Amino acid sequence: MFDKVSRSWELVKASASVLRSDKELMLFPVISGLVTLVVAATFLVPAIALKLFANGVGVGGVLLGFLFYFVQYSIIIFFNCALVGAAMIRLDGGDPTLADGLRAARARIPSILGYAAIAATVGVLLQGLKNKDNFLVRVMASALGAAWTLATFLVVPVLVSRDVGPIDALKQSVALLKRTWGENAVGQMGIGAAFGLITFGVVVVGVATTVFAAQLSGALAVLVGALFLLAVLLVGVYQAALSGIYSAALYRYAVSHETPDAFRGADLEHAFLPKD
């Protein structure tokens, strides 16, 4: 297990070095975030204005929720594919542009939409379970959500690299999970935990600083609060970009057992030997 933890962190550090050398990769989660905010407003503002959920969530509410999930997942997966596509070009020694990543994602739009429909269905079902009053059901939903996240972590690299449909991409991601279980779990939890702590620290400092600034000036407090909010958003963007690069690197190691130039010295050539 120690070897898996060590290899996982070597992958994370190498992925971070790729991001430092190609900061343009952070544009993909930035654009994705902006578009999803616009879509959220497009759905939520009319729903609130028309009081669509005033009498509870009926069939119409469920359908609207599914449509919302589908559109949001389609956008997120599209830009994740663009990020991973660009990251793979970088891992091959190239110098990807924003257009290169978008081109890679556009080539997989039918599969992206199909996978978004599957992800939206799972998302609606899990959210329904989490809204139940039964504590055990909510715990089960959280566990299923975590398992789904692990099992689908490599779907995007599969979609980008192979001309397959969403079902086959899911199957291949699950198959690769068996080979990359330790690195997948440790890497994801490590990235999530590290950035969770960073975000928490920024929020605590931001709240304290904003409160102090409010004692001096209301305008200063607004300015300080806005700056720390921007800092939290930038941390989220960096985490999303790093996670995309990590998934690309993990996929590449799992299927080819080759070490790109960006990962030389990480001693990972034998990290994912085929199982008998």
pLDDT tens sequence across 159-183: 998 889 999 999 998 888 877 665 6
- Is residue 111 within 8 Å of residue 164, measured between CB atoms? yes
Query: What is the predicted pLDDT for the residue at 104?
Result: 93
Whole-model pTM?
A: 0.80
Integer angstrom CA distances of residue 156 from 74, 126, 153, 161: 12, 21, 7, 9
Q: Output the 3-class SS for 221-239.
A: HHHHHHHHHHHHHHHHHHH
Query: In 107-217, which ranges are continuous DSSP H helix?
Result: 109-130, 135-151, 155-161, 166-216
Query: What is the predicted pLDDT for the residue at 76?
Result: 92
Helix axes 27-49, 218-256, angle to 10 degrees: 120
Query: What is the predicted pLDDT for the residue at 159?
Result: 93
- Is residue 197 within 8 Å of residue 191, measured between CB atoms? no
How do residues 181-230 score in pLDDT, each as one tens digit?
656 666 666 677 777 888 889 899 989 999 988 888 888 888 888 988 88
**Which phi and psi (to 5°) does residue 270 adopt?**
-110, 25
Stretches where the chain sits below pLDDT 50 are 267-276
- Is residue 241 within 8 Å of residue 28, measured between CB atoms? yes
Token reading at 190? 């490590």
Query: What is the predicted pLDDT for the residue at 275?
Result: 45
Displacement of CA 186 from its chain's centroid (Å): 15
Query: What is the predicted pLDDT for the residue at 54?
Result: 61
Query: What is the predicted pLDDT for the residue at 144?
Result: 87
